[in-house]
Amino acid sequence: MARYFDVHPDNPQPRALGQVVQILTDGGLVAYPTDSGFALGCRLGNKDGLDRIRRIRQLDDKHHFTLVCKDFAQLGQFVQMDNDVFRAVKAATPGQYTFILEATKEVPKQMLHPKKKTVGVRIPDHRTTLALLDALGEPLMSSTLILPGRTEPMTEGWEINEELGNQVDAVLDSGDVGTDPTTVVNFVGDEVTVDRAGAGDPSPFQE
């Protein structure tokens, strides 16, 4: 069964975060809260973790996984941005957006879209997520926790623990989770497209 960590939303306990980091470092898969529902996450390069996410969500190999980053400087290591894209992404972060961009060589190959060499990136506006990322010292390879047949992300830690406790290694819960998935903005190609309208205002990216 998963280990369940209930932390304070404003001041998540460092000891609990450290234990979650250790689980991630040991190759574990965790469910954690964000400003856009819960997400599943594992360490960079954890192929088994990605395979477990695929099984839980029943995803095919064309799914865009997301690198969840703690700040803009970290995000910039993993994706290619020209000046216009740089300004647009910077203006919308942190926030409830996922951006699809060309990946740099820093991104593990198993995360990439098989044909396009693209990846999703985001910086959440959520204290517990950012504290976890800071303690980990690197981005999380993630996917929003939307179960097969559903359209909305899971938002209750206790429910995740009951339903997925035998499929994840830890559930981190701070009781303050956004209810809508991110808005997905795709910068790959000749035109910027909004692939999914969600919690983030899509209008800045629509003509």
Domain residue ranges of the chain, discontinuous segments joined by +: 3-205
Give the pLDDT of residue 145: 96
pLDDT tens by residue, 101-142: 999 999 988 888 778 889 999 999 999 999 999 999 999 999
Give the pLDDT of residue 43: 97
Give the pLDDT of residue 168: 98
Q: How far does the chain reach from its first CA to its final CA, in angstroms?
A: 48
Given a cut of 80, is residue 91 above it in pLDDT? Answer: yes
- As a whole number, mean pLDDT of residues 155-165 equals 95
**Least confident span in 32-41, 59-68, 98-107:** 59-68
Q: Classify each residue of 37-68 as buried b or exposed e, where b means 16 or more C-beta atoms within 10 Å of its C-beta.
A: bbbbbbbbebeebbebbeebbebeeeebbbbb
**Tokens coding 159:** 């429910």
What pTM did the predictor assign? 0.95
Query: Cα separation of 166 and 161, whole Å?
Result: 8
pLDDT above 90: percentage of residues in the chain: 89
Given a cut of 90, is residue 60 above it in pLDDT? Answer: no
Query: Cα separation of 69 and 74, whole Å?
Result: 6
- The per-residue pLDDT of the chain, averaged, comes to 94
Given a cut of 90, is residue 23 above it in pLDDT? Answer: yes
pLDDT tens by residue, 166-198: 999 999 999 999 999 999 999 998 899 999 999
Given a cut of 90, is residue 64 above it in pLDDT? Answer: no
What letter would DSSP give residue 201? -
What class has domain 3-205? Answer: alpha beta
